[in-house]
Structure 1
Amino acid sequence: MSHDLPVIVVDDGSIDGTSEQLADLPIMLLRNEPNAGKAAALWRGMQASMDLSVDGVITLDGDGQHRPEDIPRLIKAAQGHTKNIIIGSRLHDREVIPRRRYYANRFANFWIAWASGMPMEDSQSGFRLYPIELLADLSIGTSRDRGFVFESEIIIEAGWRGIAVYNIKIPAIYGADLRPIHFQSVTDILRITRMVGGRLISRRMYLPGLYRSIVKPKLD
């Protein structure tokens, strides 16, 4: 399905011939050698997009969990919620999601909601549309150990800048025929929690954020 959008593919040091298979397609192909990790791959693609005079950047993971045919839904949501991050939310599909993964995501939601000051539906979804203004002056670490921390920290940074998150529901896609998922429920959630803890401490536990994200929605 064609969406008439510029496409950037970041081949993060793969050894399965990915770059060769994509060589003749009308895309911008970037390759990290050696593998630099998810955060660095995302950031390299985001930086490349800034040279294309676009209004926003849509990210999709390479494991087959995100459907390109849902891209127009993100764009439509962004047209009605300009300047927001649009996130494809999956946790409504609870029965499809592996139990351990589901509860790890819910745990992460709590902490990222508190630190950002915004309610969270699916803070770990990588299917997002970012406004280009947010990315233009972003400064977040992209080392290998921050692979899944990076996306969580962007949400917190956005919340601190007054940039909201808007969610749209997308299917939760899991199956044996998909590429292996590199998210490690315990290790990556601990890394995210450490990052969030540092952010909260820097703002003296940011109690207004806890109220706006957790308490107030339950009172409304």
Structure 2
Amino acid sequence: MSATFNPLVVIPVYDHEHAIGAMVDGVLACGLPCLLVDDGSRESCAAELRRQATRDGVRLLRLDINRGKGGAMIAGFREAARLGASHVLQIDADGQHDTRDIPRFIEAAHNSPDAIINGAPVYDASVPKGRLYGRYLTHVWVWINTLSFEIRDSMCGFRVYPLAPALKVIDEETIGQRMDFDPEIIVRMHWRGIEVQNLPTPVRYPSDGVSHFDVWRDNVRISRMHTRLFFGMLLRFPRIAWNAWR
């Protein structure tokens, strides 16, 4: 258990200059510090992020080359550790998630500091049906690969990680650097016995009309990731089964 609970909000940003101001407003209204990870954004977005970083409680980490959501989050995790954080609250930059739910996630993490607090989306009518149906296939694969229903949604970008075990997985495993990051890291942490708690949270698509999910490329990446995880599950089957059924 963490001796000191010191959460930091990390937001990976790639060309979301029209939505990021409202997201930062929402984070600061919750009284939490915020790290913006500029994932090689165009100059108009980079300038807006530099402006946001002049606000009290906001820091900026600039990546000169786009690494993908996973690459940005990994860089954010490492910077969070350098800054002395115990936990990272990840939230997307595009306005999908309601920042008013942040205190609920932080309270849950404070009460269960060794657990991942995972967003379980409650969608409104704005969700694209193709994205919604595609998620269910991922859910099935995750349930197979963990032999558990504990992870209700593995792709939600709103969650709280205990930082030390997250970095241990990142340091010891090969984790997807793009849209495959969210499902892969939560499965690998679950394999290591990290509890997952699911909090329902509203999700809408997105406030600035910008989505970086590439239907072809990202679905291929995610399919490859599920294949890797499946064979990894087979290698770990006795331990995973024991954790699932005890």
Does TM, normalized by the shorter one, top 0.5? Answer: yes
Gaps of 5+ in 1: none
Change (3 A) 1:50 1:202: same
Change (3 A) 1:189 1:116: farther
In the alignment, the residues of structure 2 paired with residue 103 and residue 96 of structure 1 have an alpha-carbon distance, to the nearest angstrom, of 14
TM-score, normalising length from structure 2? 0.75
In the alignment, the residues of structure 1 paired with residue 85 and residue 53 of structure 2 have an alpha-carbon distance, to the nearest angstrom, of 23
Q: How many residues align?
A: 210
Match for residue 104 of structure 1 among 127, 134, 141: 134
What per-residue deviation string (whole Å, max 9, x for no partner) do you get for residues 129-166 of structure 1? Answer: 001231231234467xx301112111111111101211
1:43 corresponds in structure 2 to: 74
Cα shift at 1:181: 1.2
Give the structure, 1 or 2, with the largest relative contact order (CA under 8 Å, sep 6 or more). Answer: 1
In the alignment, the residues of structure 1 paired with residue 142 and residue 218 of structure 2 have an alpha-carbon distance, to the nearest angstrom, of 13
Change (3 A) 1:49 1:108: same
TM-score, normalising length from structure 1? 0.83
Secondary structure of 1:129 counterpart: strand
Q: Show the 5 A alignment for 1:79-90.
A: 79-90=110-121
Gaps of 5+ in 2: 1-25
1:93 corresponds in structure 2 to: 123
In the alignment, the residues of structure 2 paired with residue 136 and residue 94 of structure 1 have an alpha-carbon distance, to the nearest angstrom, of 34
Change (3 A) 1:44 1:159: same
2:229 corresponds in structure 1 to: 199
Cα shift at 1:72: 0.5
2:153 corresponds in structure 1 to: 122
Match for residue 6 of structure 1 among 33, 38, 43: 33
Change (3 A) 1:128 1:167: same
User: Percent identity at matched positions?
Assistant: 30
Secondary structure of 2:79 counterpart: helix
Cα shift at 1:96: 4.2
> When you count strand as a share of all residues, which structure comes out higher?
2
